[in-house]
Amino acid sequence: MLVFVDERQIVTTGYATSFGREGVSLTSFVPNEFEDWVNSAGDHDLAAVEAFLIGDCRDRHQFSKIIRQRSSAPVIAMNDQSSLERTLELFACGVDDVVRKPVHAREILARVDAIRRRAQVSADYATVGEMRVFFDGRDPDILGEALVLPRRERRMLEYLVHHRGKRVTKSQIFNAVYGIFDEDVEEAVVESHMSKLRKKLRARLGYDPIDSKRYLGYCLTC
């Protein structure tokens, strides 16, 4: 999940659609609501945020400091116009990158991955047992062959890999894949997608690498 801060609904709606095509959920805030949310959000909600995008809006120079008090996720500022002075000010305030709009959703995701790699938060892929799971939108490689997955199932597998060895709840997975404020989708959809994912992995591997415990959630065990 990405969090986008901007005053203009037309901008946030447009990017929500663009990221949705890439299988990534985007939650948006107007500036005067964002600080309250960061300060009051639960740790699980903040852990689901892969990056913060800060639009060309008021008070944005203070957002990096606010974010860093609760999260280590990348912070990318988005400028409407090219300005060296403005770019340098943003870097001085602690953002990880500055981009000039318009910018494609795929480029932003690539920049997020690059920032995370530099911080040694993640690599392009992770090898887990007989699986190689990529974090750049590619389907996982299972026993030397690609396993084609729908984007939601692929995102769930990526999330489990990022948290391998730890048990994650249905709510955590839902927040990461669908966004914490998506009221049009129920958490029960996680069970449906997870069941399909486990069936496909079991058919390819010969065993189920995902352990499930009622009320406790899921854990990637291999």
**Closest alpha carbon to 155 in 121, 119, 193:** 193
Q: How far apart are CA 211 and CA 189, in angstroms?
A: 18
Q: What's the pLDDT at 108?
A: 94
The answer to whether residues 80 and 57 touch, using CB atoms and an 8 Å cutoff, is no
Q: How far apart are CA 81 and CA 102, in angstroms?
A: 10
Residues 6+ apart with CB under 8 A from 194: 156, 173, 210, 212, 218
Q: What's the pLDDT at 181?
A: 61
- Does residue 183 sit in the same domain as residue 204? yes
- Does residue 66 sit in the same domain as residue 135? no
Q: What's the pLDDT at 162?
A: 86
Q: How far apart are CA 69 and CA 56, in angstroms?
A: 22
Q: How far apart are CA 193 and CA 205, in angstroms?
A: 18
Q: What's the pLDDT at 215?
A: 80
- Does residue 162 sit in the same domain as residue 114? no
Sheet holding 125-128, edge to edge: 125-128, 131-134, 141-142, 145-146
Q: What's the pLDDT at 117?
A: 75
CATH number for the domain harbouring residue 77: 3.40.50.2300
Sheet holding 75-79, edge to edge: 26-29, 2-5, 51-54, 75-79, 97-100
Residue 167 lies in domain: 125-220
Place of tokens 């892969």: 50
Domain end residue (candidates: 96, 118, 140) = 118
pLDDT along the chain (222 residues), means of 10: 92 90 89 90 84 90 90 93 89 93 91 80 75 88 92 92 87 83 71 94 94 90 82
- Does residue 37 sit in the same domain as residue 92? yes
Is 0.85 surpassed by the pTM of this model? no
The answer to whether residues 151 and 160 touch, using CB atoms and an 8 Å cutoff, is no
Q: What's the pLDDT at 147?
A: 94
Q: Look at the chain and report how many structural domains it folds into.
A: 2
CATH number for the domain harbouring residue 214: 1.10.10.10
